[in-house]
Amino acid sequence: MTAPNHNWRKFKNVFMQTLTFVCAILVVTPLLLVFYHLIKEGFSSINLAFFTQLPKPEGETGGGMSNAIVGTFVLLAQAAVIGVPVGVLGGVFLSEYGGTKLNWWIRFAADILNGVPSITWGIVVWGLLVVPMHTYSALAGGVVLGLMMIPLVMRTTEEVLQLVPGGYREAALALGIAKWRTIVQIVIRTALKGIVTGVLLALARVAGETAPLIFTALGNENWAHNLTQPIAAMPLQIFAYAIGPYNDQHRQAWAGAFVLLVLVLSINIGVRFLTRDRFQQKV
Amino acid sequence: MATDPNNSAAALTVRNLSVFFGKNAAVKNVSLDITAKAVTAIIGPSGCGKSTFLRAINRMHELNPDARMEGEIKLFGDDIYSRTVESVTVRRRIGMVFQKSNPFPTMSIFENVTVGLRLNGMRDRKMLAERTEESLRMAALWDEVKDRLNAPAISLSGGQQQRLCIARALAVQPEVLLMDEPASALDPLATAKIEDLIVSLKKDYTIVIVTHNMQQAARASDFTAFFYLGELVECGPTPKIFTSPAQKRTEDYVTGRFG
């Protein structure tokens, strides 16, 4: 009954278990470090002026990022207007219509687009909009973020629609309900929370993009009065302040990063909350 | 051969029906009359084409892009595969209940029953309420759910959910009701309720039921068709099929010697 390599086997088991545990911890560590640093540096830097005032001229202390906060929301709203309908409808096509071969190519293209470096998107929209319009603009910034959202939203929409059991489609079609109505009223409605989740995550993802905005929205020390003017955005402002020479700029960069993180985090937590009871009836 | 000799009022006449998936023929040259206001059971071993046959009757097999059919099916004389007929129209006249109960999870009991009417444009609340009660009564579910019509459909038990699906199919007032093993996922008590329901529905509806359960076919049906390897072997009054079938293969199957 003696197992000759019993201890060796036990050791291997413990060793592998420890190794995987350490790797798992390594995944969480950067997140915790980022949180720690941002809370430490950012939270204390936040004050009312940060939310209500425009940036002060270079070198002066005080002021805030109100224009950048609003700018980020303006850019996200434009991005949603472009990215949500196209992405969702594209996802519906992939899931409910289309041929196997065609869909394979569309999926392939979307996956490649999801991997395109964000600065490349910036250059493309710079060529498409900024050059012909002879100006950097909020519009170009919204378009670039919207374009980046399309493949993200499309793929997540397709995935959640595929999770809807085929039995629901069959049941609806067998009632003599037309296909488009079945898709809108049964399939999409069943998967709605998943679609909303995908949209919010895509928004959270592009909310922090900086590189494409350098080529498009540019940033602005003041309010943008219409969409054809350059507009401020939090990631841009954080970038500008972080590389600036003054301590008060650094303080505001921390504050901006903290607010941006809270924004993205609250979207993510909101998503968790929304998806808690997916496929459940509101009671 | 292979048609019901006592056919006086056929709801469906199927002639030389073949259904292919790619190159495989799942149903081969089947001709069969389905008697109106009676229950016809389709029996046969797994893979014999009985579900495919059923789905061809309301064109559900078309959901599979590889599917192709030959032959003719007429519903009270109307060719359901005529170029001018849309599958949506066919399915409004020929309803279907599936093996796995599938009430819509985002909808209440009331919304589930009326979904076929509402999504085809009916807005009249009084009418919807009437149809709901009528359909739920026919599906023998009314007394159990009348006080909680706005509760989520998925809060019902498995057997209740299946009866809800039957009510949902009845609410659009089809002429024929197809049932694909409607009780195979249910316990014996719930199964007995579904069988009673089938028998009571036949005074108003033509019913075609696919079943694996031979006792169920014997108990609930008036006519039985035996399918084997995609072909219709024999069809006739249920007592005859189960006691003195004309074909040796039918006898072997119903006595449990194979299948």
CA–CA gap between residue B252 and residue B250 (Å, rounded): 5
The overall average pLDDT reported for chain B is: 92
CA–CA gap between residue B14 and residue B247 (Å, rounded): 21
CB pairs under 8 A between A and B: 82
For residue A268, name the pLDDT band (cuts at 50, 70, 90).
confident
In this predicted structure, which of A29-33, A41-45, A136-140, B90-94 has the lowest mean pLDDT? A41-45
* Axis-axis angle for helices A189-207, A66-96 (nearest 10): 140
More confident site: B7 or A29: A29
Look at B98 and A181 and tell me if their CB atoms are within 8 Å: no
What confidence score (pLDDT) does residue A42 get? 87
Answer whether residue A279 shows pLDDT above 60.
no
Pick A175's closest partner by Cβ from B100, B107, B116. B116
- Domains present along chain A, CATH in parentheses: 64-275 (1.10.3720.10)
Beta-strand ranges (E) seen in chain A are none
What confidence score (pLDDT) does residue A277 get? 58
The alpha-carbon gap from B111 to the nearest alpha carbon of chain A, in Å, equals 12
What confidence score (pLDDT) does residue B3 get? 46
What confidence score (pLDDT) does residue B226 get? 96
The alpha-carbon gap from B53 to the nearest alpha carbon of chain A, in Å, equals 15
> How many domains in chain B?
1
Q: Could you tell me which residues of chain A have a Cβ less than 8 Å from any Cβ in chain B?
A: 99, 165, 167-178, 181-182, 185-186, 189-190, 192, 279-281, 283
Please say whether the beta carbons of B103 and A190 come within 8 A.
no
Query: What tens digit of pLDDT does each residue of B108-149 get?
Result: 999 999 999 999 889 999 999 999 999 999 999 999 999 999
Pick B91's closest partner by Cβ from A168, A169, A173. A173
Query: What tens digit of pLDDT does each residue of A144-164 get?
Result: 999 999 999 999 999 999 999
The H or E element that residue A8 is part of is helix A6-37
What confidence score (pLDDT) does residue B107 get? 94
CA–CA gap between residue A157 and residue A211 (Å, rounded): 26
Q: In this structure, what token pair is assigned to residue A118?
A: 């964000």
Region for A176 from its dihedrals, namely left if φ exceeds 0, alpha if ψ lies in -120 to 50, beta otherwise: left
Answer whether residue B9 shows pLDDT above 90.
no
Pick A281's closest partner by Cβ from B58, B60, B106. B106
Answer whether residue B8 shows pLDDT above 60.
no
- Which DSSP letter does residue A57 get? P
Look at B108 and A281 and tell me if their CB atoms are within 8 Å: yes
Candidates A169, A281, A283: best to mutate against B (most CBs of B within 10 A) is A281
Partners of A218 in the beta sheet?
A: A231
CA–CA gap between residue B69 and residue B62 (Å, rounded): 9
- Least Cα distance to B157 among B188, B190, B111, B110 occurs for B190
Look at B152 and A281 and tell me if their CB atoms are within 8 Å: yes
Look at B88 and A177 and tell me if their CB atoms are within 8 Å: yes
On the CB side of A82, CA atoms within 13 Å amount to 19
Answer whether residue A5 shows pLDDT above 90.
no
Answer whether residue A72 shows pLDDT above 50.
yes
For residue B4, name the pLDDT band (cuts at 50, 70, 90).
very low
Answer whether residue B1 shows pLDDT above 50.
no
Q: Please report whether residue B89 resides in a domain.
A: yes
* Axis-axis angle for helices B158-171, B188-201 (nearest 10): 20
- Which DSSP letter does residue B100 get? S
The overall average pLDDT reported for chain A is: 91
- CA–CA distance from A189 to each of A175, A245, A275, B21 (Å)? 17, 52, 14, 31
Look at A173 and B63 and tell me if their CB atoms are within 8 Å: yes
Beta-strand ranges (E) seen in chain B are 10-21, 24-35, 39-43, 67-75, 78-79, 94-97, 176-180, 206-210, 223-228, 231-237
Please say whether the beta carbons of B166 and B175 come within 8 A.
no
CA–CA gap between residue A74 and residue A80 (Å, rounded): 10
Region for B256 from its dihedrals, namely left if φ exceeds 0, alpha if ψ lies in -120 to 50, beta otherwise: left
Cβ contacts (< 8 Å) between B119 and chain A: which residues?
Answer: 172, 175, 177, 181-182, 185
Query: Domain limits at B26?
Result: 10-104+176-254
What confidence score (pLDDT) does residue B135 get? 96
Q: Please report whether residue B112 resides in a domain.
A: no
Look at B104 and A280 and tell me if their CB atoms are within 8 Å: no
Query: What tens digit of pLDDT does each residue of B19-51 get?
Result: 999 999 999 999 999 999 999 999 999 889 999
Cβ contacts (< 8 Å) between B91 and chain A: which residues?
Answer: 173-176
Look at A283 and B120 and tell me if their CB atoms are within 8 Å: no
More confident site: A81 or A278: A81
Contacts of A260-264 with CB under 8 Å at 24 or more apart are: A260/A72, A260/A207, A260/A208, A260/A234, A260/A235, A261/A34, A261/A35, A261/A38, A261/A42, A263/A72, A263/A204, A263/A207, A264/A204, A264/A207, A264/A208
Q: Please report whether residue B66 resides in a domain.
A: yes
Query: What tens digit of pLDDT does each residue of B187-238 get?
Result: 999 899 999 999 999 999 999 999 988 999 999 999 999 999 999 999 999 9
Answer whether residue B14 shows pLDDT above 60.
yes
Q: Please report whether residue B121 resides in a domain.
A: no
The CATH number for B209's domain is: 3.40.50.300
Q: Which residue of B has its CA nearest to A96?
A: B63
* Axis-axis angle for helices A247-275, A234-242 (nearest 10): 150
Cβ contacts (< 8 Å) between A178 and chain B: which residues?
Answer: 88
The alpha-carbon gap from A101 to the nearest alpha carbon of chain B, in Å, equals 13
Phi, psi of A90 (to 5 degrees): -60, -40
For residue A61, name the pLDDT band (cuts at 50, 70, 90).
confident
Q: Tokens 């950097």 identify what position?
A: A136
Look at A176 and B172 and tell me if their CB atoms are within 8 Å: yes
Q: Which residue of A has its CA nearest to B151?
A: A283
DSSP character string of B112-160: HHHHHHHTTT---HHHHHHHHHHHHHHTT-HHHHGGGTTSBGGGS-HHH
Q: Could you tell me which residues of chain B have a Cβ less than 8 Å from any Cβ in chain A?
A: 58, 60, 63, 65, 87-93, 95-96, 98, 100, 102, 104-108, 115-116, 119-120, 152-155, 165, 168-169, 172
Q: Please report whether residue B220 resides in a domain.
A: yes
Q: Please report whether residue B49 resides in a domain.
A: yes
Q: Tokens 């706005």 identify what position?
A: B150
Segment A30-39 mean pLDDT: 90
Segment B60-66 mean pLDDT: 91
Answer whether residue A4 shows pLDDT above 80.
no
